[in-house]
Structure 1
Amino acid sequence: MNDASTDDFRQEIRTWLAENLTGRFAGARGLGGPGREHEAFELRRDWDRNLAAAGWTCVGWPVEHGGRGATPAELVVFHEEYARADAPVRLGHIGEELLGPTLIAYGSPEQQARHLPGIRAAEHLWCQGYSEPGAGSDLANVATRAERDGDEWVITGQKVWTSLAHVAGWAFVLCRTEPGSTRHHGLSYLLVPMDQPGVEVRPIVQLTGTSEFNEVFFDGARARADDVVGEVGGGWAVALGTLAFERGAATLGQQVGFRRELERVVATAARTGALDDPVLADRLARAWAELEVMRAHALRTGGGAHGAGQANVTKLLWARWHRTLGELAVAVQTDGGLVAAGPPYDLTDAQRLYLFSRADTLYGGSDEVQRTVLAERVLGLPREPKGAQA
């Protein structure tokens, strides 16, 4: 995005990144991200705190809540420049980009005062307690329950695919607080400390050999009675609000990262001679064209945050594109592209991209669910009969 109104802002963040991604932080460049969240945890946490000290966390939050009050255009610039600088993937993005905006929109003044400063200072890390073994893409099927006990809630149940739960100090958890309620009725949105008896985190080993996803078991865990965001029993609306915040201007930064990955795949294809294969050359050209289309779509829709169904379209576009890029990453290798580089399971960047991107069309709402939402809620098509076979 080139806009005279954002030129000064772009130069400011570009200069700051160039001056600060030096010394010990120079070694943090390019670290983290899907399948690589284990990399240099302490260094990346120090980097987040360095950002916070300079006022570069929560840039889109209102000034009265500790942010910079950045405009949507400035947010796009921030994420683009951050990605172009190859700065490390943020550890606090769940708190900053999901919970923070949710508390600003739905939280009480006391909740905002209690939780927002720790997020902005990069001191408190959060995880999202949504998915369950029986409530993945079908989030309204949540079974984890919370019962009132005096001035606390007592939580029992299981969450799964909980990103960064093993390092997070807090979780926002969707629970069923009204016995006998079904679907989206009777759910509440609770803020739960992770470091307490009754919370057990079990890492899930992924295809990449890393474990950034987790199972979380609540067995009598407790949360304050006043740490329900929104109304008791009204958690569904708050949860949907969080999902809407999940896809916004950061999508543009994500796509700059995608472009770097595509450029590396093209460079590998040139080195291995794969570009001489007309089929592979055509697939690479198609990948480039589709990335341009995604960028145009993201700029038009604010990263999918504006307009009914736009977030679903955005997820469908990037998930399938990135999974295909993973396939291309190994297709352009010489023989042995799927053989581990060394024992016991030493993966190349291309192999890690291929393996982790298998999940892109599943997590965050599967492709099938995204299409169903678009069909039923946006296009108004009849609901598929229960029990219908695919």
Structure 2
Amino acid sequence: MDLSYTPEQEAYREKVRNWLHENLPEGWGTPRFKLPEDELERGKFLNELDKKIYEGGFLGISWPKEYGGQGLTLVEEIIYGEEAGKLDVPDGPNVLGRLLLGPTLLQFGTEEQKKRYIPPLLRCDEIWCQGFSEPNAGSDLASLQTKAVLDGDEWVINGQKVWTSLAHHADWCFLLARTDQDAPKHKGITFFLVPMDNPGVTVRPLVQLNKSREFNEVFFDNVRIPKENVVGGVNNGWQVAMGTLSFERGTLSPGQLIRFQNEFNVLAKVAGDLRTSDATLVKDNRYYRQKLAEIYTEIRIMHYHSLKSISQRLNEGKLGPEASLQKLFYTTTRVKLGELGIEILAEEAPYWGEESVGRGKMQEVYFDSRGATIYAGSTQIQKNIIAERILGMPK
């Protein structure tokens, strides 16, 4: 595995770096810059920023030009991710469309679906959400009960989804529904594309522990969609969904790891600034030095494992079960970072805001990291995949 970049790739990095510095809002990355507090206004602001990034040529970097992409390679996409990560450029409200649906359509979609859905997805003209989890089908996704019945030229969908990120902003939902009640539970599922403005779709936001309203319940009551809004074939949804989830589990890019490193740097600074009786916390306490060194080492290990996964995608064009190793390692380490942050803050931990120690970043990590152990397959699911499909252990 060659870890160096060619002169052409380094020139592309310089292009990305210059564009970001010239086009990000004034004051970006400084304490004086603040995103809109109102959630709808913040979503609109971030979507407009994504549109600007697309117009600059930095969304869909490795996707084919005929579908609105830039037609470059995964390496250029990684370079952009690294530079955006250094500046904490947010993913924006259409992250699920770009991260999950776009690659799924490129692999399983028809030519008509690729031409219809991918260009407006990249232009941020259509926002997507993901309808997989249900109240009784989270980690055991194949137990889902949402049903779809073919009625003439339309599918009729009934059921409920939960933990549906950004559904209150979304124009479309890609979801799983049961289409064969008599088939084994992994066999009778189909992957659908559903407009969120259809009659019968109801969205109810859920307030999270970290104070945001990102998650939602979504109800489908006799929602009708054209029969061609199926991806990958009827009753083949499980295979399509596993492809989708592999993109989610295996996309721990160097850019994401730079964001993780930024979080670690905040904690290291907090630990370096907090004082005991006669020294800073880090200098005075070997325990905290050891814990910080441990997490830093794990972040570096993840960096090289990420490069290995990227090399696999470049050479083989796909990711295998090794993506579960990456997902498991990342989530458990980030939980450790959040817990250590709260431990170091001690009596300062309940004070959460711009004026608090670390500006509330460690509290955000602490709460957000819990969700990461569940989405894209829970920690327990990842351990099963690693045991059975990598280590060859019996089921």
TM norm structure 2: 0.89
SS in 2 for 1:15: helix
One of 270, 274, 278 as aligned partner of 2:286: 278
Q: Alpha-carbon deviation of 1:73?
A: 1.8
Matched, 1:288 2:296: yes
Q: Structure 1 counterpart of 2:9, which letter?
A: T
Distance 1:226 1:195, change over 3 A: same
Matched, 1:15 2:18: yes
Matched, 1:298 2:306: yes
> Equivalent residue for 1:51?
53
CA distance in 2: counterparts of 1:29 and 1:95, whole angstroms: 31
* Cα shift readout 1:80-99 (whole Å, capped 9, x = no counterpart): 01111222332212111211
Q: Structure 2 counterpart of 1:10, which letter?
A: R
> Equivalent residue for 1:332?
344
Whether contact under 8 Å (2:59, 2:69) holds in the other structure is yes
CA distance in 2: counterparts of 1:364 and 1:354, whole angstroms: 19
> Equivalent residue for 1:353?
365
Q: Alpha-carbon deviation of 1:133?
A: 1.5
For structure 1, the 5+ residue unaligned runs are 384-390
CA distance in 2: counterparts of 1:215 and 1:239, whole angstroms: 20
Q: Alpha-carbon deviation of 1:248?
A: 4.4
Q: Structure 2 counterpart of 1:365, which letter?
A: G
Q: Structure 1 counterpart of 2:366, which letter?
A: Y
Whether contact under 8 Å (1:177, 1:187) holds in the other structure is yes
Whether contact under 8 Å (2:98, 2:122) holds in the other structure is yes
> Equivalent residue for 1:110?
112
* Cα shift readout 1:106-157 (whole Å, capped 9, x = no counterpart): 1112212221111111111101111112211111112111011222111001
Matched, 1:169 2:181: no
Q: Alpha-carbon deviation of 1:348?
A: 2.1
Q: Alpha-carbon deviation of 1:69?
A: 2.1
Matched, 1:313 2:321: no
Q: Alpha-carbon deviation of 1:324?
A: 0.8
SS in 2 for 1:191: strand
Matched, 1:186 2:188: yes
- 1:217-228 paired onto structure 2 within 5 Å: 217-228=219-230
Q: Structure 2 counterpart of 1:7, which letter?
A: E
Q: Structure 1 counterpart of 2:58, which letter?
A: W
Aligned length: 376
Distance 1:199 1:171, change over 3 A: same
CA distance in 2: counterparts of 1:369 and 1:249, whole angstroms: 18
Whether contact under 8 Å (2:102, 2:118) holds in the other structure is yes
Q: Structure 2 counterpart of 1:300, which letter?
A: K
CA distance in 2: counterparts of 1:174 and 1:352, whole angstroms: 31
- 1:1-390 paired onto structure 2 within 5 Å: 2-4=4-6, 5-23=8-26, 40-249=42-251, 251-272=253-274, 273-275=280-282, 276-302=284-310, 307-333=319-345, 335-340=347-352, 348-383=360-395
Q: Alpha-carbon deviation of 1:27?
A: 8.3
CA RMSD, 1 decimal: 2.4
CA distance in 2: counterparts of 1:208 and 1:240, whole angstroms: 29
Distance 1:203 1:28, change over 3 A: farther
Whether contact under 8 Å (1:189, 1:228) holds in the other structure is yes
Q: Alpha-carbon deviation of 1:75?
A: 1.9
Q: Alpha-carbon deviation of 1:163?
A: 0.8
Whether contact under 8 Å (2:29, 2:88) holds in the other structure is no
Q: Structure 2 counterpart of 1:142, which letter?
A: L
* Cα shift readout 1:182-220 (whole Å, capped 9, x = no counterpart): 321111110000112211111122111212111111111
Q: Alpha-carbon deviation of 1:278?
A: 1.1
Q: Alpha-carbon deviation of 1:262?
A: 0.4
> Equivalent residue for 1:387?
none
CA distance in 2: counterparts of 1:352 and 1:277, whole angstroms: 25
> Equivalent residue for 2:277?
none
SS in 1 for 2:345: coil
Q: Alpha-carbon deviation of 1:254?
A: 1.0
Distance 1:131 1:29, change over 3 A: farther
Q: Alpha-carbon deviation of 1:174?
A: 0.6
Moved more, 200-209 or 240-249: 240-249
Moved more, 212-221 or 295-304: 295-304
For structure 2, the 5+ residue unaligned runs are 275-279
Q: Alpha-carbon deviation of 1:378?
A: 2.7
Whether contact under 8 Å (2:93, 2:169) holds in the other structure is no
Distance 1:39 1:301, change over 3 A: farther
CA distance in 2: counterparts of 1:249 and 1:137, whole angstroms: 20
Q: Structure 2 counterpart of 1:282, which letter?
A: Q
SS in 2 for 1:189: strand
CA distance in 2: counterparts of 1:38 and 1:2, whole angstroms: 42
